[in-house]
């Protein structure tokens, strides 16, 4: 008799990992990415609810858990996250 963990794995053939809200990342690409040639950028969520955004450059899913949540975002995802109205780019040294 199979346990429920094996059934979940059968439903998820891509190998993506499950959500872990404490870490903030929801899923990871199954293929390792090369280091980004672009500098990392920090974004802050200014909305009131939970927001998950998938970066078009890497496929990473960034989970913002509420107002004020911040993430250091891979530089390849900068353009796609910059288009989200509830996210604002935080300049270094700014609170």
Question: Does 30 map to a domain?
Answer: yes
| pLDDT at site 90 | 93
| 76 in a structural domain | yes
The rounded distance, in Å, linking the Cα atoms of 66 and 52 is 10
The pLDDT score that the predictor gives to residue 10 is 56
The angle at the Cα of 20, spanning 12 to 75, to the nearest 5 degrees, equals 95
pLDDT one-digit tens code per residue, 45-74: 999 999 999 999 999 999 999 999 999 999
Label residue 36 by pLDDT band (50, 70, 90).
Answer: confident
Which residue range forms the structural domain that includes residue 31? Answer: 17-90
2, part of any domain: no
In the chain, how many domains are there?
Answer: 1
Instruction: Say if 12 falls within a structural domain.
Output: no
51 membership: H or E segment, kind and range: strand 51-54
Of 11, 82, 14, 89, nearest to 53 by C-alpha is: 82
CB atoms within 10 A of CB 64: 23
1 within a domain of the structure (yes/no): no
């Amino acid at each position: 008799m199979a346990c429920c963990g094996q059934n979940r794995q059968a439903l998820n053939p891509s190998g993506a990992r499950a959500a872990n809200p404490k870490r903030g990342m929801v899923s990871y690409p199954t293929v390792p990415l090369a280091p980004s040639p672009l500098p990392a950028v920090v974004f802050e969520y200014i909305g009131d609810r939970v927001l998950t955004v998938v970066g078009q450059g890497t496929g990473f899913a960034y989970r913002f858990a509420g107002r004020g949540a911040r993430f250091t975002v891979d530089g390849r995802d900068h353009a796609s996250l910059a288009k989200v109205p509830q996210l604002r780019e935080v300049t270094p040294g700014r609170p």
